[in-house]
Every structure is written in structure tokens, then in C-alpha cells.
Amino acid sequence: MNTSQFPIVTNVPTLTPTIPPYVPYRTFRNFLEFLKEGVPARIDRSVWGQRASGSTGIQLMTALRVLDLVDDDGRPTENLEHLAGLEGDERRAALTALLRLHYQPVFALDLLRATRAQFREAFRSFGAKEGVLAKCEAFFIQAAQDAGIELSTYVLAGRHVSRRSSGASSRTRQQPAERPATPPPAPTVAPPAQSVGVSIAEMVLQKYPDFDKNWDSETQQKWFDGMTKLAEYLGQSGNDQASGGTGEPGAGQGSG
């Protein structure tokens, strides 16, 4: 294979470990598919805002920066331009090269035989805390599978949480609900005031500093902790709306 076709694999440096992506891999992959329509001059909220929530969009941008797919100003790098235009085996080869470049402690393992503990130790070397580690591992595992990289059964054991939900869906299909004798009540429309908590959180999110891969591990972790708390508040605000509550805007301000 002519490696000159894959600019990602050339001039591979020894990188200083930085906290790896922890955005859901499906979000990342879907975004690459979207870019097949054309890579914009800059990746910003106007590009991803209609495809991801505020917190997920920030995680996506962080992943793109950490993987050197955009620069600090959000401008696409040559690697992103290249990766977005590939398909099939060429795309898998380029994705493999990208992972090898940015996950050097992980690829130092024998991934066909590595235990789950060894895998976790490799991710700890990036400086991420326990609350983020599982998400970082999940991104890598799904990206590796997408790239055709084989992983040990020990690393993959217990990772397929979706089996439980698919089983529940199967049971639901086998036991169809009885049709009610009377029509269900009309849904209640929540008043606009109930979205105040989420709106404030979104305002805080817009002022949240962009992730910088050049930060030291402690600063990166503080950024991730703050983003996690903000995402949790956004989720709580959504639950309050679903239950008819008004939420507490003060909590969103404190989490930023």
C-alpha cells in the first residue's frame, strides 16, 4: 500500500499524552459522513449546531482538536479534509493511522491479548479521571472496530450494553399493548417559562472556553469536570420539564 496516499501516517511524532476524545463515537462518525457534502472553511456552532446539542457539540469540537482535525480556530486541517473524502478500505486505513498517532500508550499494548486492566492503565496515562475514562475507552473501542482493528475479548467483555435494551425491545414487540377503550388524553403543552433553566445553561455554555489541547493535564481535567457538570444540569433541566417542574436556574450558573 502506498502510504503517501494517507498524509495522516507521515512524520509521526512522539506526542505528549492529552485527554483523548470522549464524545459518543456515533456523533463523531455521523459528522464525518456529513462532511462528505463539503468541508466548510471553519467548523463552528453554525455547522454542528443543528446536529448536536450544546454539550455534545462542544465534546465533538474537543475531539476534533485533540485529533488535530481542526486547529485552535476551528479551521479544518489537511487530515480532516483527507479523512472526510475517503470510503471503504482507504478510510479504514486512514482512521487506523489517526488512532495510532494519538493513542500511542494504547498501541504499546498487545491489543489481541491485553486485559481490561492493562487497557484501563493505558488510558489512565493520559491523565483522565475515572469519571471520564469509560467514555474515552468507549470512543476508542468503537473507532477501532470501525477501522477494522482487532481487540482482545478481555477488552470487549461486558461492553455491549445495547444487548439489554435490544432484549427489552424484543419483549415489548412480543407483548403488544392492549388498545385502550377510550382515547388517551391530549398531551399537555409545557409553557415557555419551563425552558428558562436550559436557556441559562445554554448561555453559560456559549461563554465556556474552548478546549485547548496544549493545556496541562490538570487544566484539561478541570475543563472536562466543568463540562460534565453542565451536561448533567442540562439533563436535569430536561427531566424537570418532562415532570412539569420549573428547574432552578441558579444551579446551572454554579456548574459553569
Q: What is the pLDDT of residues 167-196, one digit of tens each?
A: 333 333 444 444 445 555 555 544 444 444
Mean pLDDT to the nearest integer, 151-176: 57
Is residue 106 over pLDDT 90? yes
Give the pLDDT mean for 29-58.
89
Checking if the pLDDT of 122 tops 90, the result is yes
**Which grid cell is 211?**
478546549
* Cα–Cα distance for residue pair 65/250, rounded to 1 Å: 31
Q: Which three cell numbers stand for residue 96?
A: 487506523
Rounded to 5 degrees, φ, ψ at 76 are: -60, 140
pLDDT band at 129 (very low <50, low <70, confident <90, very high): confident
Classify burial at 104, counting beta carbons within 10 Å of its beta carbon; exposed 0-12, middle 13-18, buried 19 or more.
Answer: middle
- Confidence band for 245, pLDDT divided at 50, 70 and 90: very low
Give the closest residue to 83 by CA, choosing from 23, 6, 30, 22: 6
Mean pLDDT, residues 158-175 taken together:
43
- Which three cell numbers, joined as nine digits, stand for 63? 475531539
Q: What is the mean pLDDT of the chain?
A: 74
